[in-house]
Amino acid sequence: MSGLDLSCIPVFEGLSEAELGKVAEIFREEAHPAGTVVMAEGHTGNSMYVLVRGQVQISKAMLLEGMSVPLLNMESPRKVLATLKHDAHPVLGEVAVIDDEVRSATVRTVTDCAFLVTTREQFFNLVRREPDIGVKLLLTLGRRMAATIRRANAEVVKLTTALALSLRKNT
């Protein structure tokens, strides 16, 4: 891999040089030009991505599939959840290496981007071959997912409160 130091990627923190070498074996580099949909909400996937160059935007549909709200004057409005830059080496699509569910958001490249990519099969082959590495990686991914759930829960509370206040105001 183009000389990238994997130890600077947060999801690989705590791995030894030898362990990082074994992790590097399961990743390939992938480049996408600006404007490319790397992951599409509602589609299945089995790959996890680490952004190593460029900028991406994560968005989510504001309506369930098939719904339209004439008031919004559009068929499928999207909410931008985040714009991420490569300097933090964000991990995208990590849930796909754990389960077979559909993607929960869309990731689109804002600029030309480069990613390190692995699949569920490659990931779990490494976990089976190298259980010590597997435990470290799975713990890190689990912590990331737990943090995401905590943030989502906080957002649900805010939205529920805003809705309740709005309904109370209109009654």
Task: Give me the CATH number covering residue 121.
Answer: 2.60.120.10
User: Within a domain: residue 53?
Assistant: yes
Evaluate whether residue 15 is within a structural domain. yes
d(CA 107, CA 127): 27
Contacts of 38 (CB under 8 A, 6+ apart): 32, 49, 56, 92, 107, 108, 109, 113, 115
Number of domains within the chain = 1
Structure token pair of residue 4: 């990238």
Q: Quote the pTM value.
A: 0.83
Please list the pLDDT of the chain residue by residue as tens digits (171 residues). Answer: 567 889 999 999 889 999 999 999 999 999 999 999 999 999 999 999 999 999 999 999 887 666 666 555 555 678 899 999 999 999 999 999 989 889 999 999 999 999 999 999 999 999 999 999 999 999 999 998 888 889 888 888 888 888 788 888 877
Pairing of β 91-92 and β 28-32: unpaired
Range of the domain at 105: 6-169
Distance of CA 38 to the CA centre of its chain: 11
Sign of CA dihedral 73, 79, 85, 90: negative
Residue 1 lies in a domain: no
